[in-house]
């Protein structure tokens, strides 16, 4: 199991529980669904197959993937917040997607034997103590040739302010790409978001499992 950052480990799940009913509205206001759509448009236009969404939150990243890539054979949502999982499952169900939910952190042994065709992780890696181990675990959850879509906070004064509450880190694109390569991914692409707050505070990545 990959440990959460010690900065906010005891309270992070409770923080997300408390804001679960307002999380999606915040994403909409800041333009993150459009940024997520931009990332998936940059990837291969193929069905997601078996899809795992790590730290799903309100399910916005998973929904963007499904809207771009088409129906999935299976959707598994993972999050440390039960309330966030409920929000995500409800939003996906409203579009006709019956998702499975798992209340667990990245690195959970509950998923260790399973592999997926597509793995998603939006603003999750920043909260983890051992990022190389987390990325290697994500690679092992993918079939050979499977795709990993990642959205990560990047250095900016806005990101520094957010860290005061959420305790997450930020990674410059060259550093994130080096970490993905070190975890064994190939065909790594950095996707810069084109507008709004996401263009300043976040970056997208697409990588392939060998």
Any residues with CB less than 8 A from the CB of 199 and at least 6 apart, and which?
35, 192, 193
Domain annotation covers residue 189: yes
- Which tens digits make up the pLDDT trace of 112-161? 788 999 999 999 998 888 999 999 999 999 999 999 999 999 986 555 55
Which residue range(s) make up the domain with 140? 12-208
- Which tens digits make up the pLDDT trace of 84-108? 999 999 999 999 999 999 999 999 8
Domain annotation covers residue 6: no
How many structural domains are present in the chain? 1
pLDDT at 204 exceeding the cut of 90: yes
Domain annotation covers residue 93: yes
Domain annotation covers residue 127: yes
Any residues with CB less than 8 A from the CB of 105 and at least 6 apart, and which?
1, 2, 4, 80
Domain annotation covers residue 47: yes
Domain annotation covers residue 188: yes
Q: What is the pTM of this model?
A: 0.90
Q: Phi and psi dihedrals of 51, rounded to 5?
A: -120, 135
Helix axes 131-140, 173-182, angle to 10 degrees: 50
C-alpha distances out from residue 120 to 160, 164, 178, 192, Å: 24, 25, 19, 17
Domain annotation covers residue 151: yes
Any residues with CB less than 8 A from the CB of 101 and at least 6 apart, and which?
76, 77, 78, 79, 85, 86, 88, 89
| CATH code for the domain of 107 | 3.40.50.150
Q: What was the pLDDT predicted at 163?
A: 55
Domain annotation covers residue 2: no
């Amino acid at each position: 199991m990959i440990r959460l950052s010690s900065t906010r480990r005891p309270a992070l799940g409770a923080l997300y529980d408390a804001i679960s009913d307002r999380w999606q509205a915040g994403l909409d206001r800041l333009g993150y669904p459009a940024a997520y759509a931009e990332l998936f448009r940059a990837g291969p236009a193929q069905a997601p197959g078996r899809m795992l969404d790590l730290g799903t939150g309100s399910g916005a990243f998973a929904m963007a993937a499904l809207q771009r890539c088409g129906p999935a054979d299976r959707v598994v949502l993972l999050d440390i917040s039960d309330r966030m999982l409920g929000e995500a499952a409800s939003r996906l169900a409203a579009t006709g997607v019956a998702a499975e939910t798992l209340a667990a952190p990245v690195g959970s042994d509950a998923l260790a034997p399973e592999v997926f065709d597509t793995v998603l992780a939006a603003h999750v890696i920043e909260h983890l103590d051992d990022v190389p181990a987390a990325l290697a675990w994500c690679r092992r959850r993918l079939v050979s040739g499977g795709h990993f879509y990642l959205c990560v906070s990047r250095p900016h004064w806005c990101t520094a302010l957010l860290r005061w509450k959420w305790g997450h880190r930020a990674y410059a694109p060259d550093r994130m790409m080096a970490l993905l390569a070190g975890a064994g991914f190939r065909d790594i692409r950095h996707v810069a978001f084109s507008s709004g707050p996401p263009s300043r505070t976040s970056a997208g990545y697409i990588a392939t499992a060998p």
